[in-house]
Structure 1
Amino acid sequence: MKAPVFFHVRLRRGGGLAELTEVIERFTPVVQPLAPSAVVAQLAGSHRLFGVGPVDLAQRLRLQAAAWCGLETVVGIGSSWTVAAMASSRTQSSGVLEVTPSETAKFLGPLPVGELYGIHRTQADDLHRLGVETIGQLADLPSETVVRILGRAGRGLQEHARGVDRRVVVRGRAAQTLSVRADFARDTLDGWEVHAATLRLVTELAARLRSRGQAARSITVVVSMADRRDLSKTRALRAVSAHTDDLRLAVYGVLDGFGLQRARLRRIGLVADAVDAAQAHTQLTLDRAREARLRVEPVVDALNARFGPGTVAPAAALTGQL
């Protein structure tokens, strides 16, 4: 039986996900958007239908996306969702990278374990402490050892390290997302102005989640640089939450990881992977300041709903508007 072919298509710049999805649907109906800036597709016989191989088909897709929609894309090709996603982040100048089934172990093996698609930073840290530095080392560990280190989630991660991904593309199913964005009037150095704008975005995003009866599982931070580069990283929250504090800590953690220092920024955007708020559980803590902030959130939400968004906000978020 021939191995399936997955395309993982990334936008080089934010925006245009709906348009990209429409372009890919011209090649295959099995397409699933992955907000904020990627699409995964499964191609059963599309390359035979069009009379070209997967790489040529990917180049044709990229050309149409650029010509019709002005979208710059890269495409990873693999026999599983994970392999295709890993390939799409390593396409270099060609814009397309195919990893065949026979090349999967050689491709994944030397890569740092922290770059495995879907792994969380805390999981990578646990592996590092035990001397597991590469994806190949994770793949070679006894399964029982992986489960002891990472719990039940370790089984899936080890399968991904071996190039196995049991997920299938579900046509038209996009994760529920909420997004907010701030554009700077001029290229802005990372500093108090950027942090004030970020806090305003976090506050707005958290309030919108609560107003819709939703909470976030993860937050994606997208930063557009003055040199036209985009940085994007997703961080899973420790627990599903719609509390401003929890979202703020996750976002600031991502920004610190970017190491922006004196970089000039044009835009910052946040995207929350939203689920029903019933999945969120608030635990009691001994932190009186946090408990006070949690109690005041409904009051702030009510005031902003009555008098307009931003009427009440953290002082640090207002600093950039003075």
Structure 2
Amino acid sequence: MLHVRCRPDTSEAAYRAVLDLLTGYSPVLHALPPAAALVETRGALPYFGCSSDQLAARIRLRAMALVGVDVHIGIARSWAVAAMASVRPARNGLRLVPAGGEPAFLDQLPIEALHSIGPVQAARLRTFGLETIGALVATPPVTVGRILGGKAGRIPHERARGIDPRPIVARALPLTVSERAAFRQLAATSLSVNVVFADGAAITRSRKLRETSAHDEDLRTVAYALWEAFAFERARIRGLAVRVDVTSAAQAARQITLDERREAPVRLEPVIDRANRRCPDTVGPASAYRRTG
């Protein structure tokens, strides 16, 4: 598989153009906003009659020529290794990690480079002397589990050995704030927060809403709860994206409640929306504005 990474300053329009380009090489494309994507190549390689690194070189060349975007591409048999490879490309913008070559690529990398590990987890591993990915591999899984706790220890230990069974599932780029009109007849079912660190590593947390909702306050509450669950301490963050899975608002159930603190803003939302449609971005909740006296 290929992990295609655009520059951090790539515009949304250019990023979408890169995704459109990638669909010409594989129908199994998983967008990773704000600036990356995964491409499944098992069907593409025999179709184009080339190796994975040759296909990656072709994609990079066309991205620069047709879209004007320089991309770095990691090539590996697992999601995590391909993502780490795209952060550390060779001079040609590519990094191939062949099957069986994961230890040679991973073992000397700093522990912070491990895909999906957060800065808090990395700092905790360092306090126990585990400063490289190779040191983590040499540590028994039970010990890593005691340091990080249960599943939080098992997954990093597997990825340090190049094991990541997650398949690539086709996922298009979700709607954005610039397409706000499209959200008026939709309701949210779940929400995900994706954080990209300065070194290119990323971590995602998701939560399903207790009930389908089209109300700003419900989404805001879940987003803040997910953010607090990261428990970052001095993290160097390069990108932050919030993804909402939606369904038709007509299918959303309305839970009756006697809580006036919830009902008042819910009733006020349609009024605010109507006002903002006439005078964009001029009305909002009073709690969002700084008091002046």
Paired position in structure 2 for 1:120: 118
Letter of the 2:242 counterpart: A
Residue in 2 aligned with 1:272? 242
Partners in 2 of 1:69 and 1:272 — Cα distance?
26
Is the CA contact (8 Å cut-off) linking 1:219 and 1:247 kept in structure 2? no
- Give SS of 1:213's match: strand
How many residue pairs get aligned? The number is: 258
Aligned with residue 9 of structure 1, among 4, 14, 36: 4
Q: Is 1:62 equivalent to 2:54 in the alignment? A: no
Structure 1 residue 46, shift from structure 2 partner: 3.8
**RMSD of aligned residue pairs (Cα, Å):** 4.2
SS at match of 1:56: helix
Q: Within 1, Cα distance between the matches of 2:161 and 2:199?
A: 27
User: What is the deviation of 1:47?
Assistant: 3.9
Residue 37 of structure 1, aligned match among 9, 23, 35: 35
Instruction: Tell me the equivalent position of 2:283.
Output: 311
Task: Label 1:295 to 1:109 Cα distance change in 2 as closer, same or farther (>3 A).
Answer: farther
Q: Is the 8 A contact 1:36 1:271 kept in 2?
A: yes
Q: 1:96 aligns with which of 87, 94, 97?
A: 94
Give distance in 2, aligned partners of 1:94 and 1:82.
21
> 2:202, 2:261 → 1: CA distance?
25
Percent identity for Structure 1 against Structure 2: 29
Q: 1:159-206: CA deviations, max 9, x gaps?
A: 111011101122x3247x45448xxxxxxxxxxxxxxxxxxxxxx9xx
C-alpha distance in 2, partners of 1:298/1:114?
43
* Gap runs ≥5 in structure 1: 1-5, 182-203, 223-229, 261-268, 278-291
Q: What TM-score, normalized by structure 2, do the two folds share?
A: 0.69
Q: By how many angstroms is 1:83 displaced?
A: 0.9
Between structures 1 and 2, the one with greater strand share = 1
- 1:152-301 equivalences under 5 Å are 152-170=151-169, 172-174=170-172, 177=174, 179-180=176-177, 212-214=187-189, 216-220=191-195, 234=202, 236=204, 244=220, 247=223, 250=227, 257-258=235-236, 271-275=241-245, 298=266, 301=269
Kept in 1, the 8 Å contact 2:191–2:206? The answer is: no
Q: TM-score, normalised by structure 1?
A: 0.63
Cα deviation, residue 218, structure 1: 1.1
Unaligned runs of 5+ residues in structure 2 are 210-217, 248-259
